[in-house]
């Protein structure tokens, strides 16, 4: 171990007050919720892609498993437009894309991937810093309330899109539990077949 690293490890840091520890615990909860809501949306977009391509779950996971959120949004939208999916589904995918591109994606990446730095002089402040992208190297403070707002925005995006998947027949309810069906509604598949026949 180098002497500089050893010296850095010996620098005393102020002990956390109970109030500070409570805030940190809540902050960790809010960040965890953001991760969960993000994963839900990614899963719903994957299911959309699988349904459009008539893929079973195992094959679908091979197709979308390596895609990040925006790649899934892009693929789902391009497939839906190409296969002439119902307009409601196309509009819903576009809405998800717009919501993410108008600051939500950047905020989520800052929170999830950013380095966190405590401010021991102000227990309500913690700085986040990412090392790439538009905000690289810029320390930004986010309160627990702001983290909660990000999580809630993602939650409602997921809820609204989930409702569209049910309305369009991508998801159905069997024995009280949501289950995916292989294809979208017959009218969409018929339209797709007509388009193929004409080509």
pLDDT tens by residue, 185-194: 444 444 444 4
Instruction: Give 4 or 80, the one with higher predicted confidence.
Output: 80
> Shortest CA distance to 41 belongs to which of 142, 156, 145?
156
pTM above 0.75, yes or no: yes
Residue 127 pLDDT more than 50? yes
Q: What is the mean pLDDT of residues 85-110?
A: 93
Residue 25 pLDDT more than 90? no
pLDDT at 11 (0 to 100): 53
Instruction: Give 44 or 133, the one with higher predicted confidence.
Output: 44
Residue 174 pLDDT more than 70? no
Q: How far is CA 141 from CA 17, 71, 123, 144, 152, in A?
A: 20, 28, 12, 10, 19
Q: What is the mean pLDDT of residues 64-82?
A: 95
Instruction: Give 20 or 162, the one with higher predicted confidence.
Output: 162
What span, in angstroms and rounded, lies between the C-alpha atoms of 142 and 155? Answer: 19
In the chain, where the domains are located: 20-115+144-189
């Amino acid at each position: 171990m180098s002497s500089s690293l050893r010296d850095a490890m010996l620098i005393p840091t102020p002990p956390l007050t109970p109030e500070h520890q409570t805030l940190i615990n809540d902050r960790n909860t809010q960040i965890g919720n953001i991760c969960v809501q993000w994963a839900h949306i990614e899963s719903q977009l994957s299911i959309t892609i699988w349904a459009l391509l008539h893929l079973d779950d195992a094959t679908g996971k091979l197709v979308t498993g390596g895609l990040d959120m925006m790649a899934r949004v892009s693929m789902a939208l391009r497939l839906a437009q190409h296969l002439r999916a119902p307009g409601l589904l196309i509009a819903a995918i576009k809405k998800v894309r717009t919501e993410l591109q108008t600051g939500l994606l950047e905020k989520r990446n800052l929170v999830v991937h950013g380095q966190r730095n405590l401010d021991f002089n102000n227990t309500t402040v913690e700085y986040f810093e990412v090392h790439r992208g538009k905000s690289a190297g810029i320390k930004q403070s986010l309160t627990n309330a702001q983290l909660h707002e990000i999580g809630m925005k993602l939650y409602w995006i997921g809820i609204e899109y989930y409702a569209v998947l049910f309305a369009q027949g991508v998801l159905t309810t069997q024995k009280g539990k949501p289950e995916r069906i292989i294809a979208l509604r017959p009218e969409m598949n018929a339209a797709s077949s007509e388009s193929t026949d004409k080509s």
